[in-house]
Amino acid sequence: MNSRSVTGESRLLIDGHLVGARSGETYDNIDPATEQSLGTTADASLADVDLAITAARRAFDETDWSTNHAFRRRCLEQLVTATEEAAEEFRRIDTAEAGRPYVRTLGSVNRNIPTLGIWAELAGGYDYEQSLSTFRTPGQGLLRREGYGVIGAIFTWNCGFYLNVMKIGPALAAGNTIVVRPAPETPWQTTRFGRLIAEKTDIPAGVVNIVTSQRPDVAEALTLDPRVDLVTFTGSTTVGKKIMAQAAVTMKKVHLELGGKSAAIMLDDVDLETSVPLVIEPLCFNAGQTCSALTRLLLPRSRYAEGVELARASLSAVHVGDPWDPQCGQGPQISARHRDRVLNYIEMAKRDCRLVLGGGVPKSLMRGYFIEPTVFADVPPDHTIAQEEIFGPVLAVVPYEDEEDAVRIANDSIYGLSGAVHSKSTQRALDVARRIRTGQVAVNGVLSNGPFGGYKQSGIGREVGVWGFEEFLETKSIGLPGNGN
């Protein structure tokens, strides 16, 4: 096998069958590093999504999938085994269709597979019925948790395998059925996952359906169709608002993991030489296309010049280029359109801010959608590049006066997804972290393994562990006379 050869899955998964679009239409899956087609993918229409929703509705209403917890656990354990066996395929697909450096796919694929095992354990071991007395509620009764029904899942393109795990996994574990529309730019991560479900597990027909499409109305159908009970979406805040409005027509629950403009605060006592690279180098791992990326670096004025130089030095050492190269630290943007969007932000910032590094397309990379790691200094806190999510390898370095000013700047955002605080004193950093209005904060480089999600316009709901599992469970209160006998 050629070291760069990648084989994807072009078909949809509808009602247990791997099929082409009813229209026969396909579209090219483009490699963002070469601008060449990797192969084709079925281009579903409204007719296909209707069949998928019909199948999911029947599987939830007419089978015991939602109530047979032990069976769900066994099916998900089968999926864990299947994904472990196919992990190398998923890594190669991630590099080929998303441009993620191959050396980074151990994190994007292999380290996420065990999470499927967590969902499997919860499917069979969660306490779906509890006495209301457990909650010190007057009266007799039961608190029952059960699946919502049909889930519509809409994915963005920056972390396909992770989203398979974090959306499909808990939705199934909780007893739901699902229709997935992956991002048209990165379809194969999900279609290959669908093929494993069809061929390697006992998950019944109709429980999982996957429809790939370039057409916006296919995703819209999942938000509007009354047979869909919950919509889960990961992507931009702009699109999330549209989904929320569309879902409101039929009062669907929405679970939204959206954008971010996260700040990393360096307190004045910190070891900048260690902390600055630790904070900013991950910005390039996925070419800045990560919602939780720390794209604002807040430095005390007393140490500002030192911090700016360390930021420049750190990102100047990142090797941009062929994502299959073992030395690659940053691959391409996902598409020409997105590359141009990022470049527009950079050109705008050049008028008002001090360009320290990068600022364009690498001269040695005329093919592919590449952008240089870019650092701007002297960025006003209210500047566009300090307020809007660029989703590219662009760092805004912002000075602050004191701790109060740093907290104010960090919180001055419509977003509230992530953040970081660094100090020689863990307690001091923790005190600041408690004041940051975001869903997660790393103290001295340590991220928690707790729930992930955002404040403000960064989303609604949480992922990871039991918190993510319970997002897909409805709550029922059952009153009982006497002792319930």
Residues labelled catalytic: 257, 291
* Per-residue model confidence as pLDDT tens digits over 324-378: 999 999 999 999 999 999 999 999 999 999 999 999 999 999 899 999 999 999 9
CB–CB of 65/175 below 8 Å? Answer: yes
- Classify residue 479 by burial, with Cβ atoms within 10 Å: 0-12, 13-18, 19+: exposed
Domains of the chain: 12-258+459-478 (3.40.605.10), 262-449 (3.40.309.10)
Name 456's bridge partners: 415
307-320 tens-digit pLDDT:
999 999 999 999 99
Residue 217 phi, psi (nearest 5): -70, -20
Yes or no: say if 417 and 458 are a contact pair by the CB < 8 Å rule: yes
Q: What is the pLDDT of residue 36?
A: 96
Strand duo 415-416 + 442-443: pairing: unpaired
Tell whether the model's pLDDT for residue 1 goes beyond 90. no
415: left (phi over 0), alpha (psi -120 to 50) or beta: beta
pLDDT band at 483 (very low <50, low <70, confident <90, very high): low
Q: Is the pLDDT of residue 484 over 50?
A: no
The tens digit of pLDDT for each residue in 397-439 reads: 999 999 999 999 999 999 999 999 999 999 999 999 999 999 9
Nearest-10 crossing angle of helices 304-316, 272-280: 50
Confidence grade of residue 480 (pLDDT, cut at 50, 70, 90): confident
Which residue in the block uniquely carries the two structure tokens 């590449």? 370
Strand-pairing partners, residue 231, are: 152, 254
Q: pLDDT (tens digit, 9 = 90+) per residue, 442-454? A: 999 999 889 999 9
Contact (Cβ atoms closer than 8 angstroms) between residue 420 and residue 405: no
pLDDT at 308: 98
Residues 83-140: tens digit of each pLDDT:
999 999 999 999 999 999 999 999 999 999 999 999 999 999 999 998 877 555 556 7
Please write the tens of the pLDDT for every residue from 51-75: 999 999 999 999 999 999 999 999 9
In the three-class reduction of DSSP (H, G, I as helix; E, B as strand; rest coil), residue 293 is classed as: coil
Q: Helix 237-248 crosses helix 216-224 at what angle (to 10 degrees)?
A: 40
Neighbouring C-beta atoms of residue 64, cutoff 10 Å: 11
Spatial distance between the Cα atoms of 367 and 35, rounded to a whole number of angstroms: 7
426-433 helix and 403-411 helix, angle to the nearest 10 degrees: 40
DSSP, res 222: H
Q: How far apart are CA 47 and CA 23, in angstroms?
A: 9
The size of the chain, in residues, is: 485
**CA neighbours within 13 Å on the CB side: how many for 140?**
6
Q: Please write the tens of the pLDDT for every residue from 159-180.
A: 989 999 999 999 999 999 999 9
Mean pLDDT of 451-470: 96
Residue 403: its pLDDT value, please? Answer: 97
C-alpha to C-alpha distance for 166 and 171, rounded to whole angstroms:
9
Q: Specify the residue for token string 């998928």.
A: 52
Sheet holding 354-357, edge to edge: 354-357, 374-377, 394-400, 294-300, 262-266, 419-422, 442-443
As a whole number of angstroms, the distance between CA 69 and CA 73 comes to 6
- The span from the CA of 372 to the CA of 96, in Å, is 20
Cβ count near 309 (within 10 Å) = 14
Calculate the average pLDDT of the chain.
95
Number of CB atoms found within 10 A of residue 50's CB:
16
**Mode of pairing for the β-strands spanning 26-30 and 37-42:** antiparallel
Q: Which of 45-49, 61-65, 130-134, 386-390 has the lowest mean pLDDT?
A: 130-134
